[in-house]
Amino acid sequence: MIEFFTIPGVILIVGAALISLFSEKVRPALFLVFPIIAAVVIVTRPDGYTVTGSLLNYDLVLMQTDTLSDLFGLVFALGALVAGIYAYHMKELGQQISALAYAGGALGVVYAGDLLTLIINWEIMALASTWLIWARRTPETDAAGMRYLIYHILGGGLLFAGILWHSVVEGSITVESIPMEYTPANILMLLGVAVNTAIIPLHTWLSDAYPKATHTGTIFMSIFTTKTAVYVLIRMFAGWELLIFFGAAMAVYGIYYAVICKDMREILSYHIISQVGYMVCAIGIGTDLALNGAAAHAYNNILYKSLMFMAVTAVMYSAGTSKMFHLGGLYKKLPWVLGLYVVGGLSISGIPLFAGFISKGMVIDAAGYGGYESIMLVLLVASVGTWLSVGLKLPYFTWFDKQKYEGELKPIPVNMYIAMGILAFACIFYGVFPNALYTFLPFETGYDPYTVYHVVEITQIALLTFVAFWFLRKKLAPELTTVLDLDWFYRKAAPPLRKVFVTRVDNFYDRVEDAILATAGFLSRKFKNPMLWLNPFTDKKNEASRYSPSMEVVMSFIILSFLVFAIAYLI
């Protein structure tokens, strides 16, 4: 039984329940304790450690460790810890509980040895994360949260259906690599995972919900959902060739929107899709180098993507808006936030000496050496777009350019700086010492990122992209717009569908109810004194003739005899 509480996911979920018992003052500190315990457990458990249990007739493997799960488990625990530090000033119980349970669900998925444990944790993630959107309590976020939840219930349902089908056909519920066969069970499972991976065209929940979540909620969301799905893809769908093309398409699709969008959080959200595209592409290639690249890129991504989200959230916290249209010229007022953001920006763009360089190159090289040169070029296009959109455009129009923000800036809590500082340090640390990460990757590949070729390649691309950006920067100037995506279809379809299936049905029942009541009213009026219409000679104008006690007695007797007969019949 005690083993049950060594499962990292369980530790966080128990933590989520426990923190509700404590006062507002203690809670943020207590929040940090549980990810630390989880991290300690992860580090101290040996490879191959398992915890088993059973549900009905199924033998469950609640926890199973190996290099891959430990890599993701550790970065999730650290992510939860740093995001907890970032959210230290936030006192709202609901958000704290849901964030911790959400992280617990993600860890549960990572250590799940069987598909039932996996799907249960998968659903915990979906439910817990929804509150991080709803907690803003505006009509807009209520609707966005509902769309997010419905999308994830759909995805979870597809995955669960696939798992059930798979267990019937294969007779096994172990989480294992699935051979590339397009059977109904496999397709259902892949679709279910694809929803959480935000594979286009199933990505719209992400770009819709992430920019609308609470300040600190977005940070948690950017860490867990897509990366958990990437982990499951590596485990189960490595080498599925279809993923290469979808991944490459995601990388470019995300970039286009990141270039088009003018809201800081929208830009970064779309950029997640692009970054996850690299990982999906690598998983499709499926070689040792590619899978190492996918895992390393997911790991690094959690570091620098959450750093960037934290920096723009700090600006948003301070200035009250995430629209670049209202910002600009903040470099004198928020220089530290700029510096920390730039570390993230340089990392994500794969600039040498920063974390992205050591993992992105791996993915791109895996494509090049795996026989997919055109895919390699597509990924390089996405690299240019990354540097252009989140490396240059976003900071330029937020911290430089004309100053548009007039109001007072709210001071940024020191805990936010600490969290960002930790991540920035990690980004530089892994960039300078790539082997600190490489030794924890699932495969031995002997890959060295710091070759002359690689450095020259990235430096030339970065320099000339910068020059082109400088010439074209006016073209990217922020404006206030809504940017349409594929969610247009269901968001636009919702009102007419609601009209047909809800409003019309409601109206129909309303009318039927009215008709019944009207009939009853009509009959009761008429039978109050039937003599009025039974006897055509009654004087209708004369009050006295309209009501006669004798009539009432007669009617009462008729009803009474009905009752007597009815009772007699029943007996």
Residue listed under structure tokens 């704290």 = 96
In the complex with another protein, the residue whose CB is nearer, 273 or 298, is: 273
What is the rounded distance in angstroms from the CA atom of residue 200 to the CA atom of residue 277?
Answer: 9
Q: Which is nearer to another protein, 52 or 460 (CB)?
A: 460
**d(C-alpha 70, C-alpha 39), whole Å:** 10
The residue among 333 and 491 lying less far from another protein, judged by its C-beta, is: 491
Contacts of 50 (CB under 8 A, 6+ apart): 61, 63, 64, 65, 113
Distance CA 73, CA 8 (A): 8
Q: What does the binding site for another protein look like in residue numbers (CB under 8 A)?
A: 255-256, 259-260, 368-369, 373, 376, 380-381, 384-385, 388, 452-453, 455-470, 472, 475-476, 480-485, 491
Alpha carbons 321 and 119: distance in angstroms, whole number: 37
- Compute the distance between CA of residue 532 and CA of residue 537 in angstroms, rounded to an integer: 9
Minimum distance, C-beta of residue 335 to another protein, in the bound complex (Å) = 18
Q: How far is the CB of 210 from another protein (least distance, A)?
A: 16
CA distance 266 to 275: 14
CB closer to another protein, 342 vs 380: 380
CB of 433 to another protein, least distance (A): 23
Nearer to another protein by Cβ, of 2 and 452: the residue is 452
Nearest to 64 by CA among 101, 120, 9, 119: 9
CB of 260 to another protein, least distance (A): 5
- The closest of 347, 349, 344, 360 to 295, measured between CA atoms, is 360
Amino acid at 213: A
Give whole-number Cα distances, 283 to 45, 249, 377, 435, in Å.
27, 14, 17, 21
Q: How far is CA 61 from CA 37, 106, 156, 209, in A?
A: 21, 16, 20, 33
Least distance CB 55 / another protein (angstroms): 43
- CB of 369 vs another protein, minimal distance in Å: 8
d(CA 455, CA 351): 8
Q: How far is the CB of 170 from another protein (least distance, A)?
A: 41
The DSSP code for 392 is I
Q: What is the DSSP string of 534-564?
A: HSTTS-TT-HHHH--HHHHHHHHHHHHHHHH
Per-residue burial over 200-229, b if 16 or more Cβ lie within 10 Å, else e, is bebbbbbbbbbbbbbbbbbbbbbbbbbbbb
Query: Min. distance of Cβ 491 from another protein in angstroms?
Result: 6
Minimum gap (Å) between residue 108 Cβ and another protein: 35
Q: Kindly give the interhelix angle for 487-498 and 139-170, rounded to the nearest 10 degrees.
A: 100
Nearer to another protein, 97 or 394 (CB): 394
Query: Measured from the CB atom, is 198 or 258 closer to another protein?
Result: 258
| Cβ distance to another protein smaller for residue 252 or 555 | 252
Min dist CB 102 to another protein, Å, is 27
114 by DSSP, 3-state: which? Answer: strand
* Tokens 């172990």 belong to residue: 174
CB nearer to another protein: give 383 or 398: 383
Which residue number, 242 or 461, has a Cβ lying nearer to another protein?
Answer: 461
Question: Which of 275, 262, 345, 278 lies closest to 310 in space, CA to CA?
Answer: 345
Residue of 251, 255, 241, 252 lying closest to 290 (CA atoms): 241
Q: Name the residue nearer to another protein (CB basis): 463 or 516.
A: 463
Q: How far is the CB of 383 from another protein (least distance, A)?
A: 9
Q: Would you say 29 or 468 has its CB closer to another protein?
A: 468
Residue type, 427: C
Q: Least distance in Å: CB of 139 to another protein?
A: 9
The CA angle 509-511-517, to the nearest 5 degrees, is 100
